[in-house]
A and B are shown apart, each in its own frame.
Chain A
């Protein structure tokens, strides 16, 4: 994991090395100052040597300036290294995600990917900055101060050594216990927030069932639990400060007592004692700092793991070595295809599929929820790879095509489709970035989207909000169809793409397809019989198998499922929706 993450430092290696160097320089400068201070007192003040005070004072100012310079450079390089590291992490993750196949995307949830790229990266950025700036500075500061203290008087300095060891052990104990507690606490905290989230989005259910009091009680209870856990964790953590104080105070008193004796005995000067007292804070604060860095690192470990998961995820699908760059026609063939999703074990989703579809045919696909209609069509544009058998487009196994070529020729309108923030034109041009305004308007006419677009105040320049939240479901579906048409594909797949479009408009779209793009093979998945009954042939899916494949009349005569669905829908096959077939 560290190797994966470390590789992302890249061009910020130099800054990453320079930061601790300058931090150490800053420490040296800071350390020199108490030394000079002692010299001022001992050699200057006590001997009445004003000249020495000036010289030493001058040097002290130089040291302070040097410290300032080193500190600032450390600040600059530290910021550069940490924010640069974060930038690289985001960049590499994003680029890797772009290579993901559908199977990889399914593995991580959308929310999971977003968290990894945002919160987790910020956590690592802060931890990395802390490591660069403190991980070397703090121990170094402690060691130097220790050496200097020993240099002044080894016997007195050994007090610090004992203090460091005792305090260090205590801090370790406190930290390991609290980090363990805090992990549990934060987990519970997330759960609590998740339940708030649930309440916010399900507020109508809560209110409809008059469950406000029930939810309040549930929340208050969970909240009190969380409070107790927090208090238990922090209860241990608050020992830190008084413990630290106690150690410092004990050191000061021991030094005062033993130091006084030594001064009287002539083994120590008053200046030496002052310096020793000054080092006391240095040593113990560094230790404290170190323990904080330690906590921060352990806290960010979870983020580091999550990020590594994305970085190490290899795409399931790669381009073949010598890809076929042209799709000759829109014929489709399934040969003995079995398929199951990698993430889910168990039975295959598609079982022994054999189909042959000619170029230019219109094929309807119908079947119950979970009958694997979507899985079937997603194999055609190689969104997933088959487990067994092969899928051929234009007579060539889809795995032999260049993926971009294949996907440009096989245009899919996904069931769960998304529009992006931007104008309608911009959204349409996802299909073909060089499309002229006229071409865009043409495909919108085919998809019957022109009627509502032209009614919008800004027409095709209307801004679509994130997720297409400012257009209705039916409008969104028609825009998505138009976008897919702009690719001028050889195969067009509509996965339940007109479910929110009223029956009359649906019929007009199908008519436009038949007249305007007769050579394109069209696969239409639908719930409504009316959407598929005029297709050249209809596939009836049931439990991952092809239950029937034929014309409307054939199926009506021979296929029980189809007959069932047809009968349940005939008569009232109408559907109300926006526009209402005006």
Chain B
């Protein structure tokens, strides 16, 4: 169990790091899929099978597919990859890395605070995993309002994406600029 977690965690961290440093968008997305699958394994290990399933279906499935569609639509060629490589100069890493390191250290300090809750072990032996049923009861019980709000959010996202993603009107200022696009 511990070994499974460590392997999954190592895979997740490694593939995430790789995904974020790729020049080629499709490669990055493939690494991201692996990372998400690894995180799904971690979910499963922590006794959240519903979350693990949704992670695979929604993240690794739907969202990644959406990214792939956009990559196809943008039709970025090798020169885009080349440009990515030019943008990723070592010196631009310095500042953000420092910031990230500070943040990580702070999080580590907070997590290893020594409080009993943080040090505790998940699920003493024999405790059942939190099943989908329990989540469903909770969602459509006390969190019904949150579910409705989430549905509103998705609707708004749908409308917004449709509005932003459509082609500009004939005669709008954006029309002339479109001709310049490669």
A in complex with B: no
Q: Which A residues fall within an 8 A CB radius of B?
A: none
Q: Which B residues fall within an 8 A CB radius of A?
A: none
